[in-house]
Amino acid sequence: MEEQVLEILEQYAKKRVEIKYIVGELKNGGINLISDPWLNRPFIDVIKKLIDENVLVPLKSAKKLQQYEGLPSKYEINRHYFRQCDEEIPAEELRGLSCKLNMSYYLKHIEEYRAHREFIRRINDLMMDNDCEVLTANERSYLIFGDEKAITSPKNASIDGEIILNRLNLTIKDIKAEKKPEPFFYIKAKEYESLSDILARKILIVENKDTFWTFMDATLSRELTDIHLLIYGEGNAVVSKFEFIQMVGGKTTDHYYYFGDMDQEGILIFNRLRSTFSEYNIRPAVSLYEYMLNKSGQENAKPLRKCRKINEESLSPFIDFFSHETRKVIEEIISAQKYIPQEVVNKTDMRRLRMIGIR
């Protein structure tokens, strides 16, 4: 009954309350002190307890109610009591949580705890289950947050699961999940696997789709013989997908080359890729870029459809791999807001590229 009385008092809008109002609300909730007089005893005990705990403060002008052993008829409600309760996580809830959950943040941010309580409980249940299988991050995210993107792509999700884990000081591994890299499209040469333990293989990453198909045909037909693995970079997507290289047997000791458009965006993609996966020592395919520049000619570089501010520092480290003469040509193309698409290189060039090689 105490819980029901506290709920009545908390929801009551006025500062002062009468016993008859509490009795009436209890009746509406199914507790009828008039038809069930045996309930008077527990009711009286509850009111006396709330008086002792300073939740209810009797008014001096209040009448004594003989049917309730002289309890005052009117009280002032101590609102501070309810605010204090609202500012704390119930002790029984804390005791039921795994020690692996760091609740320091939520103890200071009660409103956020209330909003995230259901998710925290699901995470807690998971932490208590020692036999739980490891799932992919998206699968686990759906089970906990009801949104498969909550952990791996919180900006596109209905709830930021990543920040909840951070505030609990948990990792994806702690919730028995693992991130899976998004796969890229690739083609292996016949000898790719057999050369794995013999020598460093040549792996070429191609930025654009059509050029990838051209190089794929040449690689599979053995028109180009020094490409052992061909990867479709798909523009900037390669930066988020390249981790998949581990799943196709790529080693840090292999030789990695990148070939894209001769424009600032293509250069920035290379620089981001090289910086993010520095252990693979990815280099620009200098021979392919030089061939593209010679075939097109600097004078045939086209104006960019969208101009952007040029930052010469952003050309490094890409530009540092080229000779002084080639660097000068690249800098002039970029500073003039022009570009040369890699589609300049087509099927008719494959035989000549076989002689030049990938370097």
Give the pLDDT confidence of 304-345 residue by residue, as tens digits: 988 777 666 689 999 999 999 999 999 999 999 999 999 999
pLDDT at 310: 65
Comparing C-alpha atoms, which of 207, 153, 154, 206 is closest to residue 180?
153
Q: Which two tokens stand for residue 5?
A: 């009385």
Neighbours of 321 (CB within 10 A): 15
Neighbours of 116 (CB within 10 A): 21
**Residue 188 pLDDT exceeds 60:** yes
pLDDT at 13: 84
pLDDT at 72: 94
The three-state secondary structure class of 113 is: helix
Nearest 10 degrees: CA dihedral of 25, 27, 33, 38? -120
* pTM for the predicted model, two decimal places: 0.66
Identify the residue with better confidence: 284 or 129: 284
Comparing C-alpha atoms, which of 99, 166, 178 is closest to residue 140?
178
Please give the average per-residue pLDDT across 240-269, as a whole number: 96
Point out which residues pair with 338 in neighbouring strands. Answer: 303
pLDDT at 109: 85
Q: Please, which pLDDT band fits residue 84 given cuts at 50, 70 and 90?
A: low
Alpha-carbon gap, residue 359 to 350, rounded angstroms: 15
Q: Please, which pLDDT band fits residue 83 given cuts at 50, 70 and 90?
A: low
pLDDT at 5: 92
Q: Which residue pairs from 187-193 have beta carbons closer than 8 angstroms and sit at least 24 positions apart in sequence?
A: 187/216, 187/219, 187/220, 187/229, 187/230, 188/228, 188/229, 188/248, 189/219, 189/220, 189/227, 189/228, 189/229, 189/230, 191/228, 192/228, 192/229, 192/249, 193/249
Please give the average per-residue pLDDT across 78-101, as a whole number: 75
